């Protein structure tokens, strides 16, 4: 049996880099979309669509990596996740947070990409008539809802990330490692070792 | 408080423009509410654990 203080790799360098690049991109996207709403006037649009494309690329890389280099099943919600100390690699709360971010970001990316044809970007012929006015309104509505959900999720995600009892997860996202002792309160170590 | 933003087309008919920005503080305060509720739950749980000890 391995020692309790043995360091286990929780996140590979590529995944940590993805997480923090995505966080930085999200902050740029939120600032460039919501600061103008709050009354701060600046040329936000160019920065916003470039950051949106960066986020799209990051998410595509994440999906490819998750499907072919990682175990996507670790993010599926299973019955064992509801039992005390039954979590696999991720706890139920972490899986729900991932699911909520998946919904918010996929809606934001799909609607954002569709709206590029209205806005005029260097690589795309501008065509505001590709959708009706109500169609553009619906796309904007979904994009706005994704932004509002992101505001909520950023607050909750950062709060749980900095809680003292969850600090090991934050350290794992910075340095990559966690110990068995830190996993024991919420995780089934056999599931963790199986990569479940 | 409005839930949606509307504009008008060339004929003056009302068209949907997106979500009302009145909802931005709602999203923010909903996040703050989750944090406060969790902090209260955490404090209560710690208190009852100490009591059991």
- Is the pLDDT reported for residue B50 higher than 80? no
Instruction: Transcribe A37-91 into DSSP letters.
Output: HTT--S--HHHHHHHHHHHHHHHHHHHHHHHHTS-GGGGS--GGGGSTT-B-SS-
Does the pLDDT of residue A47 top 70, yes or no?
A: yes
Domains of chain A with bracketed CATH = 9-179 (1.20.950.20)
DSSP state of A124: B
Q: Is B10 exposed, middle or buried (0-12, 13-18, 19+ CB in 10 A)?
A: exposed
Contacts of A30 in chain B (CB under 8 A): none
- The residue to which tokens 């360098």 are assigned: A13
Task: Write the ipTM.
Answer: 0.89
CA distance A32 to A46: 9
With bands split at pLDDT 50, 70 and 90, how would you rate the model's confidence at A2?
low
Whether A121 shows a pLDDT value over 60: the answer reads yes
- Confidence (pTM): 0.92
Give the pLDDT band of residue A67 (cuts 50, 70, 90): very high
Q: In the predicted model, is pLDDT for residue A119 greater than 90?
A: no
pLDDT of residue B30: 98
> What is the nearest CA distance from B20 to chain A, expressed in angstroms?
9
- What is the per-residue pLDDT across A125-136, written as a single tens digit (0 to 9) for each? 888 888 888 899
Residues of chain B neighbouring A149 (CB-CB closer than 8 A): 27
Which residue of A133, A149, A159 is in closest CB contact with B15? A133
* pLDDT, tens digit, 9 for 90 and up, residues A80-95: 999 988 999 999 999 9
Residue B5 has pLDDT above 80, yes or no: yes
């Amino acid at each position: 049996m391995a020692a309790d203080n043995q360091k286990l790799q929780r996140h590979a360098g590529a995944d940590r880099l993805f997480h923090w690049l995505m966080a930085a991109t999200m902050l740029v996207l939120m600032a460039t979309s919501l600061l103008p709403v709050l009354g701060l006037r600046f040329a936000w649009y160019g920065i916003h669509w470039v950051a949106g494309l960066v986020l799209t690329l990051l998410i595509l890389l994440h999906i490819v990596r998750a499907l072919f280099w990682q175990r996507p099943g670790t993010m599926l919600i299973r019955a064992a996740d509801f039992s005390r100390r039954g979590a696999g690699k991720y706890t139920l709360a972490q899986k729900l947070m991932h699911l909520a971010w998946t919904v918010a970001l996929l809606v934001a990316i799909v609607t954002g990409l569709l709206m590029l044809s209205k806005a005029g970007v260097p690589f795309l012929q501008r065509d505001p008539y590709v959708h009706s006015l109500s169609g553009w309104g619906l796309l904007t509505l979904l994009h706005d809802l994704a932004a509002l959900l992101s505001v909520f999720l950023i607050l909750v995600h950062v709060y749980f990330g900095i809680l003292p009892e969850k600090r090991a997860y934050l350290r794992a996202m910075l340095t990559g490692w966690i110990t068995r002792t830190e996993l024991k309160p919420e995780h089934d170590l056999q599931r963790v070792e199986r990569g479940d | 408080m409005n839930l949606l933003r509307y504009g008008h087309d060339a004929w003056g008919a009302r068209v949907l423009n997106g979500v009302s920005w009145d909802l931005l503080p709602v999203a923010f305060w909903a996040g703050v509410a989750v944090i406060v509720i969790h902090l209260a739950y955490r404090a209560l749980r710690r208190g009852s654990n100490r009591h059991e000890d």
